[in-house]
Amino acid sequence: MFEIDKQYTREFIHTACGGSKQAFLPTKNGKVVAACLRTDLNPHAPDVILCDGSASARAAGRTLAAQRDAIPVFIKMETDAFRFVGQYVVSESLTAPLDCAPYVRNSGFTSGQISRVLKLRRC
């Protein structure tokens, strides 16, 4: 469906996967269908996803942590250009503040703003 290192628009990702065009973890039918990540907020992407404390991010992070299906992961390169980096599954979900803290550095978030850290493994 997607080619490694090829860039896609959010509209194309939405058409192919479904879910919100704005959410960084869009969901459809109760499942996370993709990850569209910004490196200023997720400096360890695609290996780590930071979920902030907003209701939508908490819910999507909880959903993805429980789901076993691989999702396509994209890294934002410029306005409406996301580079496909592969299919990933969650390998670990961290919620304890001390466990999350090392991943928050250089993210634009404070430790108190992060509700969950998702560590991913490429399929």
* Full set of structural domains in the chain with CATH: 4-120 (2.30.280.10)
Share of the chain above pLDDT 90, in %: 96
Q: What's the pLDDT band for 54 if we cut at 50, 70, 90?
A: very high
26-53, pLDDT tens digit by residue?
Answer: 999 999 999 999 999 999 999 999 999 9
User: CA 118 to CA 123: how far, in whole Å?
Assistant: 15
The pLDDT score that the predictor gives to residue 78 is: 95
Tokens at residue 39, please?
């490196």
Contact 71, 86 (CB under 8 A): no
The pLDDT score that the predictor gives to residue 1 is: 82
The pLDDT score that the predictor gives to residue 6 is: 98
Share of the chain above pLDDT 70, in %: 100
- The CA-CA-CA angle for residues 74, 47, 117, to 5°, reads 105
Residue 9, Cα to own-chain centre: how many angstroms? Answer: 16
The pLDDT score that the predictor gives to residue 35 is: 98
64-93, pLDDT tens digit by residue?
Answer: 999 999 999 999 999 999 999 999 999 999
91-110, pLDDT tens digit by residue?
Answer: 999 999 999 999 998 898 99
Other beta carbons less than 10 A from residue 102's beta carbon: 12
Contact 84, 76 (CB under 8 A): no
